[in-house]
Structure 1
């Protein structure tokens, strides 16, 4: 931006070029509507399509009106989001004169939402999420579904989970299409199949029968991985036949991550005969690709197994797009992206919001992880970025805790990495409508309450630990419990001093308050109330459980609530009998 005036509107992601003028286009000459196709139309607004990249666009705001020049309807929709942001800051003066030229660095700018770990948002909440994604210029929304689509004939799997119906998916797809966001299905077809394999009716598909300890140290009571044979492929094909026709776009994430038991059970002999599990894995993924192609889909897949033996990449056709995912500060994005660039094939990167297994987030980890992933993606020619929002452990994090990462990743994928202050300003102006500028900072502060920057927040582990484990964890961690509690109190104070005016303002503030209460409950436990025996702890736990259930139902369907809240209730079952 060339010497912007002090009161110049904020735009996130930051445009490639902006020249602000001194005058203003009055509101009566700046009004426009959104056509059925999502492209803006109006008496004083014109759209011209030109020979330029599809998402590139120029905006001219002058005394005669607004002119948009774009490479396609997609580019015009993106220009609309810039105009929305300017309009939200214009007050009574109208739109400031401007000349804006913009285009994204990364072609794919996606967000993946886990709706399989207990929480299935209501359609209205998903619609509002789509609106926010469009505002920050995302162009893809992936829904991660294990058992939360209403497959006919498989009611036993999704009963009580409040799955999305085919009609709901199609309705959401229509909302996404108008907003310029592709709705993409994401369903595993190898690992993470425990929601199916726990039932005897599907056990014939399992790689292994016995309980096992996964690489995270968790004892898995049920199998999680399909035995990769023709029957498994036929089974997935039967699910695809119901699922995929409800999605209009061409993309489909077939999963493929973390097939923990592969080569340990029924496929052991085959894997040993073929010199390892990777050839067996590749054959199965090719089978999934072939079946997805029947429904007109191009596939992408999680690349963690492939990166263990990347030479197998040569066996995959170029229309299969690997997704390099990693959520920690030390993830080797540079090495992995460089390797993919050397192969000359398309690939995506997938950082994370780092909200899962927390009551807030691990914000510093998420912000740095996003910057690293997007930076390496641009350096080595990736097609794009998918920001992931997982729900591991029961989806106990506040819904709004993911918003800072959404805004930051949007900016990093589009252009220059933003300062945290810019992320917060954008959220407070466009999402929370908070004139105080405090609520987004409350979320960032809540995300700094815990010193752990990896998979589990300390306070999350402490909250759910059995008494003996909690005592050991408290003795060995070396953390300052008072500092963690103080950081949570600071986040609460920021939230209480904020003044958001968004439609869900009170819900957002209540979510922060509940996160703080859960952190403080865990810290009292860390100080010695390991069995939650004190009157204060018992009373607090009952209040936490009640508030948790009430807030859940504000945004999500009832399915999965009993499982998620059950982890809280299980800490003291006698209190809830």
Structure 2
């Protein structure tokens, strides 16, 4: 029996357990309310899906009753629950509303792995981290449909995640800022309100997150706000993936910069019921390098950063919110941590598979409240790098426990167009949820893969996540190399090869091997995926498309090495015209998958890159 998160205490007994039949009833205790009725309905739905039995829901006292699934509440540790299954009764008892909800999620996992006779088991469980979050990028190319965000909330809550943040720069429809979000299909105020309500029913706090300092690419290259950019006013120029990530920080020496922030906050904050707000303030690379350079020479760029950060904090404090911010800049000068308000939360991110405890320890020693923020390893890739991500998640969460972090925020970014598909991030999300609840889970990755496979896709797909992990190790040459090459060529910039140096060093034979292995794994995923439960068919389709994408990107990067970096010795696995055709067919399928879960948003930007690469390949037809 696999359970995710692994409960704190589980005891399986040898005796026979409860048998579900047509006479079974779900009984809510008399003290239960409408929130608990939703829990009963979920159990009813799960039993129908697994055993094709349509059992009834009732309410009353369960004393001396047998043959029922009894839902009740008691007092105890917040969000905790207990499950007792014997031959006579199933008892799911929550310490509070959230605890009963989480007990039901665990019971549903038991149902998915049982026949009509359930195991005789006793579970006593409660979370280690009170705040267990997932951070999802909805800005860098892909804006999900409201229905997709609701289904994401369903999946998060099933694994006991209780906080969701959406990363927003320009992808919210701010009034009088249409110049910024036009052609981006932004989220609307009404969608946020509806999602907030939906999340609350799933015991998820929807925490607002908004770029308020750096990463303001679309705003600070607009006619209306370009005067607020730290670097000299840029002429309106073609879109650049690299410029989007690397520049466009607010000019702290301009009083209108904080006014710009104030106006966004005034419109955005009231949409959320959360008592928290993430102001971001990360990667302010340009501060002190342009219009504020004189001030930077006088006071130092680090001091300029902290002073403007405090201005933003004061603006948010008006709304009586607890403030979160990314810690990458302040950690470069930890002596300035003492200038921050005591109640601010530092979001401490590091995505390396070899991450150390240094930054977590520094913040702990400075008595700064922190979340540890690992990542699911999907950005800039067709398939998430699972080995790296799982190691990162495990280490960061263990450091958080060691140094007293108050929460976990597991991140899912979409750099360079958000080509990574949602299904590919779910294994990392689930593993983060597991350790956020129980950091002492020592299961090996193979066991976690099998657990995710069975719970998510069914017993007949028990090895599917292991196959996905294999695929992730065949993505030898990743999307950033293609983006840098296409970015420079499409913008008529000189290719300096600085960012292609990594591609130059990659073993070409290993890339070729990755191409062939990915195609074999595509066949394997297709075969295994045929037995997946109907609710996860779209995930299987995204895995299959990603597998073909891994193969094709390896082949494209081999072509770039051959024709652009002078590796004439490279033998391509497929001729240029056929590779271009394969790439175009792949993109048509990718686009269809994109549109099922997401708005059109900035899909056209990926299309333009793929079209450019296909043209590049065809220009070299006949070239040896």
Secondary structure of the corresponding residue to residue 278 of structure 1: helix
Pick the aligned partner of 2:10 from 18, 21, 34.
18
The superposition leaves residues 172-196 of structure 1 with CA deviations (integer Å, 9 ceiling, x where unpaired) of 1122111111111111110000121
Alpha-carbon spacing, 1:70–1:378, altered in 2? closer, same or farther (3 Å): same
**1:548 partnered with 2:590:** yes
Tell me by how many angstroms 1:63 deviates.
4.6
Tell me by how many angstroms 1:79 deviates.
1.5
CA–CA distance in 1 between the matches of 2:71 and 2:540? Answer: 41
TM-score by length of 1: 0.89
The superposition leaves residues 239-297 of structure 1 with CA deviations (integer Å, 9 ceiling, x where unpaired) of 112111111111111101000110111222222222x1222212222222222222232
**1:484 partnered with 2:530:** no
Asked if the contact 1:111–1:140 (Cα under 8 Å) also holds between the matched residues in 2, the reply is yes
Tell me by how many angstroms 1:336 deviates.
1.4
Alpha-carbon spacing, 1:122–1:500, altered in 2? closer, same or farther (3 Å): farther
Pick the aligned partner of 2:540 from 493, 509, 533.
509
Asked if the contact 1:263–1:277 (Cα under 8 Å) also holds between the matched residues in 2, the reply is yes
Q: Which residue of 2 aligns with 1:101?
A: 124
Alpha-carbon spacing, 1:71–1:485, altered in 2? closer, same or farther (3 Å): same
Alpha-carbon spacing, 1:491–1:283, altered in 2? closer, same or farther (3 Å): same
Alpha-carbon spacing, 1:473–1:310, altered in 2? closer, same or farther (3 Å): closer
- Which deviates the most, 497-506 or 71-80? 497-506
Pick the aligned partner of 1:300 from 313, 321, 324.
324
The superposition leaves residues 376-414 of structure 1 with CA deviations (integer Å, 9 ceiling, x where unpaired) of 001111011111100001111232111111111111222
Unmatched segments (≥5 aa) in structure 1: 1-8, 452-456
Pick the aligned partner of 2:35 from 37, 41, 51.
37
Tell me by how many angstroms 1:442 deviates.
2.6
Q: Which residue of 2 aligns with 1:426?
A: 451
Alpha-carbon spacing, 1:58–1:230, altered in 2? closer, same or farther (3 Å): farther
Q: Which residue of 1 aligns with 2:613?
A: 571
TM-score by length of 2: 0.83
Count residues with an aligned counterpart: 556
Unmatched segments (≥5 aa) in structure 2: 41-57, 60-68, 490-494, 565-573, 619-624
Structure of greater Rg: 2
Alpha-carbon spacing, 1:363–1:490, altered in 2? closer, same or farther (3 Å): farther
- Which deviates the most, 220-229 or 255-264? 220-229
CA–CA distance in 2 between the matches of 1:417 and 1:160? Answer: 47
**1:398 partnered with 2:421:** yes
Tell me by how many angstroms 1:472 deviates.
7.5
1:176-575 pair list within 5 angstroms: 176-209=199-232, 218=242, 224-228=248-252, 229-274=254-299, 276-332=300-356, 334-415=357-438, 416-433=441-458, 435-451=460-476, 457-458=477-478, 461-462=481-482, 465-466=485-486, 476-479=505-508, 480-498=510-528, 499-503=530-534, 505-528=536-559, 530=563, 534-572=576-614
Q: Which residue of 2 aligns with 1:454?
A: none
- Which deviates the most, 460-469 or 148-157? 460-469
CA–CA distance in 1 between the matches of 2:608 and 2:241? Answer: 21
CA–CA distance in 2 between the matches of 1:410 and 1:198? Answer: 38
Alpha-carbon spacing, 1:149–1:139, altered in 2? closer, same or farther (3 Å): same
Asked if the contact 2:135–2:412 (Cα under 8 Å) also holds between the matched residues in 1, the reply is yes
Asked if the contact 2:211–2:280 (Cα under 8 Å) also holds between the matched residues in 1, the reply is yes
**1:67 partnered with 2:87:** no
- Which deviates the most, 358-367 or 59-68? 59-68
Q: CA RMSD in A?
A: 2.9
The superposition leaves residues 105-160 of structure 1 with CA deviations (integer Å, 9 ceiling, x where unpaired) of 22221100000011111122211111111111111111001111111111121112
Tell me by how many angstroms 1:474 deviates.
5.8
Q: Which residue of 1 aligns with 2:193?
A: 170
Asked if the contact 1:211–1:220 (Cα under 8 Å) also holds between the matched residues in 2, the reply is no
Asked if the contact 1:471–1:526 (Cα under 8 Å) also holds between the matched residues in 2, the reply is no
